[in-house]
Amino acid sequence: SNKDAKEVAKGGNDNKPEKQPKGDKGNKGDKKPKGDKGDKGKGKGDKKPKEESKDCKKAGKGKDSKQAEETVGVPDNVEFQDPIYEKYKNVLKNAVYGKVVTRFPPEPSGFLHIGHIKASMLNYHYSKIYNGKMILRFDDTNPSKEKSEFVQNIIKDLKTVEIYPDKTTYTSDYFELIQEKMREFIQVGMAYADNTPADQMKEERDKGIESVNKTKTSKESLEIFEKMLEGQAPGWCIRANLDMSDKVKCLRDPVMYRCNDTPHHRTGTKFKAYPTYDFACPIVDSLEGITNCLRTIEYKDRDALYHKILEKLKLADIEIFEYAKLQLKSTLMSKRKLQWFVDEKLVEGWNDPRFPTVQGLMRRGLTIQTLKEFMLEQGPSLNTVLMEWDKLWSINKRIIDPQSKRYYCILKDSLAEVLIENGPTVPEGISIDYHPKDPTMGSKSRILTNHLYVEKEDVNEMKVGDKFTLSRWGNVIVKSVEEHDGRKKLTVELNLEDNNFSGTTKATFVPVDERFNVSVTIYEFGHLITKASLKEEDNVVNFVNPNSKIKSEGFAEKDMSQVKAGEFIQIERRGFFFVDKDLNTHGEIVLHFIPDGKTKNMSKITSKIDSNALTKGEGEVAKGANRAEQAKLAEAAADDKPLSKKQLKK
């Protein structure tokens, strides 16, 4: 098995593109890097590892002296192409530069969500920091939940977030080897066969009651195990032979192998019994030469079992690096609950912009660089907290701002008309830079006509004699104000000689002439649920936000017809948007509003979904005695106005 491990650890490059993404090229020379020197005491070859725990002796002791001769940590002469790596270069314990192998082991039972993104990014980027490798391993040990479609989507999603595994494997590749290891485990008295009904087993484990089968001999348990493999022992399982009085309940004789006659998406009906994650994971980790096992702090109680399995099976031990599980307010991570939204057709599918899946987040307008920065920053922390979304959106705005072209757009349900008495009778064009701070992005022609759409909010209070500014054109004086069918219409006079713009309302505009505008559809998204954090026992039906998707239509300047799907743009005074569909490919322009991390809406022009509900998972941070009240109102997720106490109660 050690030979097999070496072969697997060598890996392959079948999943790598011809070019690696930036920041993944290892060292470039002997230049000493600037900045953070890493944690004190870490990355030094003369530091001794911690004493082994009494509960779990570490296997593979011989590797310590060998590691002493190798470089533990990242050498000082390494210069990273991606500067973000410098900050995290000594985060892994006892990691040997050039020898690190990590793994990302998703179960192919759903689409990757933002929690999986953290796990995959930490495994991938930490391995690259140490000039190592990452294996993508599908933990396909439960055929009842898994599908090939999820395998393909996970591979696709990882490419989307620029993660390129050095090798792709499956736990099912090792099923026969794992069976042999279970036979060994039973023979050394570490496991026994049990047919206690599931509900009774749960109750006995909770109360610390030993199974009547715990005293079975290894021979008896082995015979039953063989029958399980043949599909001749329904109702039986193999349990670890530990301590039923252990204070940590998950270590009270957990199930290691169970029967399942559902056809496997890769192996078909070849196997009738499958290992659990607890048993398969440490075995395959060791066989594949994993050096650093990264997993969330929720597995802390299972560390002893992980090491015990490796010790008893005489497999090389592995360093465990723990980090906090990512939890975001008003965000569903449960595959079962997300599937309910899909089944009930409350969302478009697993790529709905309101879903925390990779495909959903990309359509919402989150960038890969945002996720990378955020996840690496969160990585070393062990504090499991319910986080707000504001930091993610704030990072995202910083990244998309420099690449977003600027446009004007007026929503159809909030427009007014302006007729310029002395305006151009023949449309004129002026050249405007796409980005005020980056002329290299090019320019567009803004069409000036004598009949314009403007924002209703900008002219609602205007009366005859008032002055306001047509943005990047000039000042106008109101000559008359009329209103027909709820729409205001102002007649104005343009005064280009008046250069005093101080204190004036700056109105964006779009020509009324359809030759010089283009129709767009805009979507704003709220949270799918009205509660900051759903508990396992909560029925999601009771917390569905009925106003989580708001549609608007508008007129944009003609040049917007050239935008392409996947681009970012800014509609001035409204915010940033992701182009979900473009005119050339889809026959329509569809934009998705991107929150910017602020807790207040932009300018006078308000969004239809409260921005503080997007950045603060349950609404704006409340103060003083009114905190609980404001939290309840925010959870109600009203469209334009918060619910009154009476409405909320009803």
Confirm whether 297 is domain-assigned. no
**Same-domain status, 552 and 534:** yes
**Same-domain status, 525 and 466:** no
Q: For residue 73, what pLDDT is reported?
A: 80
Q: For residue 39, what pLDDT is reported?
A: 42
Torsion of CA 529, 532, 535, 536, to 10 degrees: 40
Confirm whether 225 is domain-assigned. yes
Token pair in block for residue 167: 């090798």
- Residue 642 pLDDT > 70: no
Q: How many domains does the chain have?
A: 3
Confirm whether 388 is domain-assigned. yes
**Residue 86: pLDDT band by 50, 70, 90 thresholds?**
confident
Closest CA to 292 of 247, 333, 322, 272: 322
User: What's the pLDDT tens digit per position in 398-414?
Assistant: 999 999 999 999 999 99
Q: For residue 69, what pLDDT is reported?
A: 53
CATH label of the domain that carries residue 430 = 2.40.240.10
**Residue 417: pLDDT band by 50, 70, 90 thresholds?**
very high
Q: What is the DSSP string of 575-637?
A: EEEEEEE-HHHHSS-EEEEE--S-SS-SSS---SS-HHHHHSBTBSPP-GGGHHHHHHHHHT-
CATH label of the domain that carries residue 268 = 3.90.800.10
User: What's the pLDDT tens digit per position in 359-372?
Assistant: 999 999 999 999 99
With DSSP H G I counted as helix, E B as strand and the rest as coil, what are the percentages for the chain, rounded to 5? 30, 25, 45
Q: What is the pTM of this model?
A: 0.78
User: What's the pLDDT tens digit per position in 288-338?
Assistant: 999 999 999 999 999 999 999 999 999 999 999 999 999 999 999 998 899
Q: Which helix (H) or strand (E) holds 405?
A: strand 405-407
Contacts of 420 (CB under 8 A, 6+ apart): 450, 451, 452, 476, 492, 493, 494
User: What's the pLDDT tens digit per position in 561-572?
Assistant: 999 999 999 999
**Residue 607: pLDDT band by 50, 70, 90 thresholds?**
low
| Average pLDDT over the chain, rounded to an integer | 85
- Residue 55 pLDDT > 90: no
Which long-range contacts link 307-310 to residues 24+ away (Cβ below 8 Å)?
307/53, 307/56, 307/57, 307/58, 307/59, 307/282, 308/56, 308/190, 309/185, 309/190, 309/278, 309/279, 309/282, 309/283, 310/59, 310/282, 310/283, 310/286
Q: For residue 608, what pLDDT is reported?
A: 62
Q: How wide is the angle at C-alpha 85 spanned by C-alphas 79 and 88, nearest 5°?
A: 115
**Same-domain status, 233 and 359:** no
**Same-domain status, 535 and 633:** yes
Closest CA to 619 of 115, 611, 341: 611
CA distance 619 to 631: 6
Torsion of CA 356, 360, 362, 366, to 10 degrees: -40
Q: Which helix (H) or strand (E) holds 552?
A: strand 549-557
Q: Region 101-130: what's the mean pLDDT?
A: 95
User: What's the pLDDT tens digit per position in 147-171?
Assistant: 999 999 999 999 999 999 999 999 9
**Residue 643: pLDDT band by 50, 70, 90 thresholds?**
low
Q: For residue 275, what pLDDT is reported?
A: 98
- Residue 634 pLDDT > 50: no
**Residue 2: pLDDT band by 50, 70, 90 thresholds?**
very low
Confirm whether 574 is domain-assigned. yes
Q: Which of 459, 491, 515 is the last residue of a domain?
A: 515
- Name which residue leads in pLDDT, 385 or 199: 199
- Residue 215 pLDDT > 60: yes
CA distance 344 to 543: 14
CA distance 84 to 203: 49
**Residue 141: pLDDT band by 50, 70, 90 thresholds?**
very high
Domain around 286 = 189-292
- Residue 628 pLDDT > 60: no
**Same-domain status, 447 and 467:** yes
**Same-domain status, 564 and 608:** yes
Question: Which of helix, strand or coil describes residue 386?
Answer: strand
**Same-domain status, 528 and 638:** yes
Confirm whether 135 is domain-assigned. no
- Residue 381 pLDDT > 70: yes
Closest CA to 591 of 607, 605, 615: 607
Q: Which of 467, 497, 515 is the last residue of a domain?
A: 515
Q: For residue 75, what pLDDT is reported?
A: 86
Q: Region 232-247: what's the mean pLDDT?
A: 97
**Same-domain status, 399 and 431:** no
Range with the lowest mean pLDDT among 1-15, 181-195, 491-505?
1-15
Confirm whether 645 is domain-assigned. yes
Q: What is the DSSP string of 205-252?
A: HHHTPPPTTTT--HHHHHHHHHHHHHT--TT-EEEE---TT-SSGGGS
**Same-domain status, 396 and 435:** no
CA distance 141 to 266: 11
Q: Which of 235, 266, 292 is the last residue of a domain?
A: 292
* Spatial contact of 593 and 607, defined as CB atoms under 8 Å apart: yes
**Same-domain status, 259 and 195:** yes
**Same-domain status, 525 and 601:** yes
Q: For residue 615, what pLDDT is reported?
A: 56
Contacts of 217 (CB under 8 A, 6+ apart): none
Q: Region 609-618: what's the mean pLDDT?
A: 55
Confirm whether 44 is domain-assigned. no
- Name which residue leads in pLDDT, 608 or 235: 235
User: What's the pLDDT tens digit per position in 543-566?
Assistant: 999 999 999 999 999 999 999 999
Closest CA to 452 of 437, 438, 473, 436: 473
- Residue 514 pLDDT > 60: yes
Confirm whether 54 is domain-assigned. no
Contacts of 461 (CB under 8 A, 6+ apart): none
Contacts of 295 (CB under 8 A, 6+ apart): 119, 320, 321, 322, 323
Q: For residue 67, what pLDDT is reported?
A: 45
- Name which residue leads in pLDDT, 284 or 66: 284
For residues 374-391, one letter each, b for 16 or more C-beta atoms within 10 angstroms of the residue's C-beta and e for the rest, the string is bbbebbbeeeeeebbbbb
**Same-domain status, 390 and 414:** no
**Residue 35: pLDDT band by 50, 70, 90 thresholds?**
very low
